[in-house]
Amino acid sequence: MAALGSPLRTLRGLLRELRHTSGWAGRPYRDTPAYRHIIAAFRSNQVTSEKLCRAQQELHFQAATYLCLLRSVREHAALHQEYHGKGERSPEEVAGLVGFRLPQQPGGKG
């Protein structure tokens, strides 16, 4: 299994994705129930010097998985917005999308 990184990095990533999604709602992301839940869950599973918290490792894994889902959904929406539903494209535009140029026609046409 791949290393998860630090829990603080995962928390910051979750909050960043929450900012992206709540930007459409028109209200600050810190006023959302999701923000309060994420912060409360991370605070309740902090490791102290007196105990080893197995629940923290499980929470970190679930948070990292959820972060991956949120990023993937956002990136999918961006790709969908860019490439879907533009109707029929000209051959020049399609060639430009994949990084090619169409050959010039002989006789100066095109």
3-state secondary structure 38-63: HHHHHHHCCCCCCCCCHHHHHHHHHH
Query: CA-to-CA distance for 63 and 104, rounded, in angstroms?
Result: 53
The pLDDT value recorded for residue 47 is: 65
Question: What pLDDT digit, counting tens, does each position of 62-96 carry?
Answer: 899 999 999 999 999 999 988 877 678 888 888 88
| Domain limits, the chain | 7-83+91-98
Q: Give residue-wise pLDDT tens across range 57-69.
A: 788 888 999 999 9
Residue 63: exposed, middle, or buried by beta-carbon count in 10 A (0-12, 13-18, 19+)? buried
Q: What's the predicted TM-score (pTM) here?
A: 0.61
First to last CA, the chain: 55
- Could you tell me what percent of the chain has a pLDDT over 90? 24
> How confident is the prediction for the chain on average, in pLDDT?
82
